[in-house]
Each structure stands twice: as structure tokens, then as C-alpha cells.
Amino acid sequence: MNAKKFPQLSFVALGLALAMSVVQAQTYPSKQVRFVVGFPAGGATDVVARAISQNLSEALGHPVVVDNRAGAASNIAAELVATSPKDGHTIFLGTVSLAINPSLYKKLPYNALKDFTAVSQVTDTPFMFVTHPSLPVRNVKEFVALAKARPGQLNYGSAGNGSGGHLFTAMFGSMAGVNLVHVPYRGASYATTSVLSGETIFMFDNIVTTLPP
């Protein structure tokens, strides 16, 4: 797979959105803590969540379980957390989708500003531009030239409508003046598989899951 780092674009986890009331330190946590992720296992958000949950479990001395609720660019997970008891036992790993979704959906079942309390930014990672090996390009300049020669013929995968990969690629296409076809998936891991198999031809993917460990 060809890969070119695109340093101007980065995936930023907007922070842990923690809905909680005043909880005495000596009584928290009183039950299992659930770390809700809006994307399937294997994607960058899931990888980050599992690393954090392990550290949280050790720090709290209590189980912290990752709960993947994929779909609708994390809206399903966001709604779940927004409507959960405000006792600090349900944590949401918010992503750039929280900022994007209000402009894509006429009505959301939650209010990102009112229903969540931002605790901390936990990661800031760049995306990479990756293509299937069959694509006859070796750099972004060659890709743009090819896209202009084949308007509406080059398709790309993303983690879904409203995901970072979707927004970044749409912005890239607008800046480059090329017509690209979006193919949304339920998560970045599915989109990556589509590029590897040739079902889609390229994507912007998070460096966390693109580069080998």
C-alpha cells in the first residue's frame, strides 16, 4: 500500500465526555466503569480507548470495560452516554465527529455542549493518505492529476459519514478541485480492509492504525 503522510491534517480526540454529578472520591467507582466508543474494534479510536481503559483500571482499582457502539459516525454511542445515569460510570471517547455531526444531521438525539463535560484531550494524531498498490501514482501530485483525468471515478473509504476521514478527504477534494466518490463504512477498520482488497482505491487513515507498531 502506498502511503504519504499529510501533516496538515490531524485526528484530534476532543476529550473524554464524562456525564457525572458530584461524586465523593471515597465512593467512586462503586460499580463497573463503561468506556463507550462510537466505532468498531480495530480502529484508531478503539485502540486509544483500550490503552486508556487499561490505565484507568489500574489507577481506579476497578474494572473499566470498553463498549463499542458503532454506527452513525458515533451518534449511537453519544446518545447512549448522554442518556446514561450521570454518576461518572459511563465515559465517552469523543472524536472530531462530535464537532462535525451537528452540521450533517438536522436533528441529533443529544447536545454535545450541554450533555457532556470535557475532561481531557487524550490524543492528537495525523492522518495518512494511502492508496491501493494498483493505483498508478507515487505522490499526491500524481494522484491529483489522475483524479482530474478521471472525474468521479476514484472512490475512497471512510469510517462513515461525518468521520474525520470523510471530512478530510472532502476538504482535500475541494482544495485540489477533483471529484471523488465517498464510500462510507461502519468503522475505519472496515474502510482499511476495503482499500487493501481494492474495493475502494484510497483513503485518509489515522496513523495509529496505518503504520506498523
41/68 Cα distance (integer angstroms): 7
Q: What is the mean pLDDT of residues 111-130?
A: 89
Instruction: Identify the structural domains of the chain with CATH numbers, from first to last.
Output: 2-6+126-210 (3.40.190.10), 10-124 (3.40.190.150)
pLDDT score recorded for residue 38: 92
pLDDT in tens, 67-118: 999 988 889 999 999 999 988 899 999 888 888 888 888 899 999 999 998 8
The pLDDT tens digits for 142-195 are 999 999 999 999 999 998 888 888 989 999 999 999 999 999 998 888 999 999
Three-state secondary structure along 99-123?
HHHHHHCCCCCCCCCCCCCECCCCC
pLDDT value of residue 213: 62
Contact 40, 68 (CB under 8 A): yes
